[in-house]
A and B are shown apart, each in its own frame.
Chain A
Amino acid sequence: MRLKDLYRTEIYDERSGTSFSPIVLLAVTLVYTVAVVSFDRYQTFRMLPLAAYPIFMGSFACVSGRDLFRKILTVLPFVIFIGIWNPFFDTTRTEYLGIMISMGWISFFSLILKFLLIVPATLIMVAATGFDGLCRTAASLGLPDVLVTQLFLLQRYIRLLVEETHNIVRARVFRGGKITIANAGNICGPLLLRCLSRSERIHSALMCRGFGGQLYHKYGRENRLSVHDLIFVLAWVLFFSMVRIFDMPIIIGDLIVGCVF
């Protein structure tokens, strides 16, 4: 990942949010992930209807498809690296869509399909709930205070430090200096020292404002669910179960094809 890629958080910046509670989105996304992963390694088109969830949420929460695509592309190579071995070791031939093909290619295709189903769903969930909403929900579910505070602080300081790192690297390159491993101490060391003194300043500022180990207030509203939330959860869980149990594409397709022809 390049330095400038960190700024590509556009999909979270102008988040319009949804009317659904973050806990609901988190739960449904988790159930969705488990539903996708639980499909057999040779299943392909059968799980395709599950894409309805990210497509629905993406269009509902106005998430930019182009930004999603860009983010997905950066992590795709790792999955390809792991999956590409399947065709070499799983060479049993079978007929697939009228073509003779090795089982390994089917499982590779299945793996990529699963990846393309899961990753957008997670990114859309964060875009729709927002980091703040997710952290508060996690806190209300019992995530330790110290970790929630840590997440809040990390999210606030990432951009600042990336910018500072970027400046250091740029300054060094402009002066004709090289960024080699032997210079790691000279490049990162001063930044680390500045971080140490910055943390002392932040701590003093926090203490001045009466910091007692917790950066946020618990409102107790995070887990309150509306009727809409419950319908949302039930509808999606029902849909995921139906896709998991029945071969939905074939059933719907047969129905339509049978009616038309």
Chain B
Amino acid sequence: MLVIIFNYKELVAVHMADVLVSPAVGGVFWIVSAYLTAKSSAVLKKSDDTGKTALMGVLAAFVFASQMINFSIPGTGSSGHIGGGLLLSIFLGPERAFLSMVSILAVQALFFADGGLLALGCNIFNMGFFPCFIAYPFIYKKLSEKIGGTKGIFWGSLIASIAGLTMGAFFVVLQTAFSGITSLPVNIFLLLMLPIHFAIGAVEGFATAMVVIYVYSKMPGVLTESETESRHKEMKRAVAVFALLALVTGGLFAWYASSSPDGLEWSIEGVAGSAELEAPRSLLHSFSALIQERFAPLPDYAFKNKATSENMGTTVSGLVGSIITLTLALALGMFFRKRNGRP
């Protein structure tokens, strides 16, 4: 099972795609992320410390590059990589780490189609806000200070990474649910996402701890001088407001999802034993039964004789219309390119 989880982790990584987000949800999270970005930038501007500008750029590139290395996990046949947001927070402090994450996610969305323009706000919130402003200051810092030394770094990284990733995954479910794109019931989606991200978080936390401990053993000074900005009142207030909002929305959503499995926009009518779906224990049973029984590529696949001619007429018209429009677009593009003096 673990092998499957980790081999497919790239598929379920918390990057939201444009197609999974409705304009309203995408817009709301764009505004939230833009606000957090503006606040973080304002805090950095006030601190007027350009000494870490180069460090931010190089460390973001480091996170980008190091996430390409897949460390194998002995005995499982699967792999994992270091966690970006938490590592950046440890070395740069929350505000700089958040802005670095924004830059990484923007490059991923624009260059690698990982995410998208509309979903960028969601991705920044899920992968930037939680690790940098929640997991780092409230979990990593507290734990590493309390336990101290390499043990503190280890437990802090592990737990903060798990917490950050799980919260992000929860918000992926929430954003997809509010967008109403998939028919996947919320509770099943949660059941799919949370355990997987818990496991991925543990691996990322472990890898991050190894790297931070290595650097700590060679250059202990780097970690102690890292963050100074998080004490800023303004930023603290903004973070507190969003954390509270996230908590309330998440809480209401979880309550709603659990109290009415058919809630939001989904209908699981026709799914084998909808009553069974309400209890978490029988959920897995009905889920596996569902896959076994219902895995038919095209249920009731058959051509209807009646009204076929009428429908086929509409289909032909639709296809002809589409092909003509698209051919015209291609021809126009080539025409204007030639007019622009290019081959």
Contacts and interface: CB of A to CB of B under 8 A. Distances in A.
Contacts of A155: 107
B214 interface: yes
Interface string A209-228: 00111000000000000000
Contacts of A171: none
B178 interface: no
Interface in B176-216: 176, 180-185, 188-189, 203, 206-207, 210-211, 213-215
A57 B333 contact: yes
A253 B312 CA distance: 12
B180 A41 contact: yes
A199 B301 contact: no
6 contacts: A89-B268, A153-B58, A157-B58, A158-B61, A181-B207, A186-B214
- How many of chain B's residues touch chain A, expressed as a range? 35 or more
Interface string B63-107: 011101111111000011010000000000000000110111011
Contact of A211 (B20, B50, B100, B222): B50
Contact of A85 (B182, B213, B214, B267): B182
B62 A161 contact: yes
Given A86-B183, A154-B64, A92 B51 contact: no
Given A82-B20, A99-B301, A212-B50, A126 B182 contact: no
Contacts of A157: 57-58, 60-61
Contact of B326 (A2, A55, A192): A55
Contacts, number: 395
Interface of B: 8, 10-13, 15, 17-23, 26, 37-38, 41-42, 44-45, 50-51, 53-62, 64-66, 68-74, 79-80, 82, 99-100, 102-104, 106-107, 109-114, 116-118, 176, 180-185, 188-189, 203, 206-207, 210-211, 213-215, 218-219, 222, 266-271, 290-291, 294, 298-304, 307-308, 311-322, 324-326, 328-330, 332-334, 336-337, 340, 342
Interface in A34-63: 34, 36-38, 41, 45-46, 48-49, 51-53, 55-62
Given A126-B111, A185-B214, A249-B317, A203 B53 contact: yes
B69 A16 contact: no
Nearest to B73: A181
Interface of A: 1-3, 6, 9, 12, 16, 18-19, 29-30, 33-34, 36-38, 41, 45-46, 48-49, 51-53, 55-62, 71-72, 74-75, 77-79, 81-83, 85-93, 95, 97-102, 104-105, 107, 111, 114-115, 118-119, 122-123, 126, 131, 134, 144-147, 149-158, 160-162, 164-165, 169, 178-193, 195-196, 198-200, 202-203, 206, 211-213, 247-257
